[in-house]
Chains A and B, each alone.
Chain A
Amino acid sequence: MTSIFGHPRIILGTIAAVLVVSIMATVTMADDRPLTPRSIPKFGGTEVVQRVETMFSGIKWHGEFEQAMAQAAEQGKPLFWLQVVGKLDGGL
């Protein structure tokens, strides 16, 4: 069956194409929508413990700012100083 607008398949196809274009345009234009952060793999508790151990074995951590700053000055390297609510090795 045909109409003045053409074959039903053509009409459906046209509607589908318009919908797809509309959705894509909406997504492209909507720069105010919340953005999904890139994620690293989700880690379970056991792996978290292992990774914390890796962090401690791979980096020498100073516990006193003055001492760390003196080391930085002596070695001519910048200081990476981490401040956290809680313990680095014991959770928050």
Chain B
Amino acid sequence: MTLSEPKVIEKLSKNFVCGWRNIQGVETYAGKSHDHPVASSALHTSNGAGGRNVQMLFVAPSGNVLHCLPGYWDPDGFVHEVDFILELAKLESSELSILEKRDQFQLAHLNHAAHHSEQVVKDSSLQGFDKMREEKAEGSDFRRKTDGAVMRTVDQVMHERMARRPLLNMSRFDIENVVDYGTRFYDKYGDGCCDLEKGKPTMPKNDKMKPGKYQGGWKKKG
């Protein structure tokens, strides 16, 4: 629902050319989800949730990728990122050499992440099932360097991943690696479990179908 917020619409329509495409069944990195009719309720979630199902890319007129916001993003956090991206666009179109631009691009992403508000960081915690996947992943960049715990947040990790991809052209931008975190299956009802390899998502543990709620798509276990 972020993209339907008036302040977001104003920001995008004024400063960007906008486009979209459906990646379902087209891209290998695309996630899986239950069916959600357009008239189903919109629920709360955290920044970065469903990163394989939604990717918001910001590309300079030259074709170089400025930023990628995966998954849901809170309207306030989104607008904050867009303001930063507009600054990156100025840098990208400046007269500096490409090496200088890349240096400044990297620094800008890291500095911006370091100055994220406490609220944005709080809003960007990994969801339970995504965290479990990262805990199993050796060398996950969601691990804290101090104690190895998977406590780092999507907002921080995304800026770091972008800093490692300074002004790459869209044709060379490895989005499949940029959005590679958490599970491929995203369930808006909560910490759903799933057998991704077999493509048989199941009901979340300790949760029962609620009368009156949309229940399409769940399959029985086993």
Contacts and interface: CB of A to CB of B under 8 A. Distances in A.
A78 interface: yes
Contacts of B9: 54-55, 58-59
Contacts of A79: 16-19, 57-61
A10 interface: no
A38 B76 contact: yes
Contact of A73 (B5, B15, B38, B61): B61
Interface string A51-92: 110110011111111011101110111111111111111111
B196 interface: no
Interface residues of A, number: 51
A58 B209 CA distance: 36
A44 B39 CA distance: 8
B4 A82 contact: no
B148 to A, nearest CB: 13
Given A69-B59, A72-B59, A84 B54 contact: yes
Given A32-B151, A54-B9, A91 B18 contact: no
Interface residues of B, number: 68
Given A51-B4, A68-B17, A77-B61, A83 B23 contact: yes
Interface string A22-66: 000000000010111111101111101101101100111111110
Given A79-B19, A80-B12, 13 more contacts: A38-B119, A45-B41, A48-B40, A63-B19, A68-B18, A77-B61, A79-B58, A80-B19, A82-B3, A84-B20, A85-B24, A85-B30, A91-B38
18 contacts: A35-B122, A37-B123, A42-B42, A48-B41, A48-B42, A51-B1, A51-B4, A54-B6, A65-B19, A69-B59, A79-B18, A79-B58, A80-B18, A80-B19, A82-B18, A82-B56, A85-B24, A91-B35
Interface of A: 32, 34-40, 42-46, 48-49, 51-52, 54-55, 58-65, 67-69, 71-73, 75-92
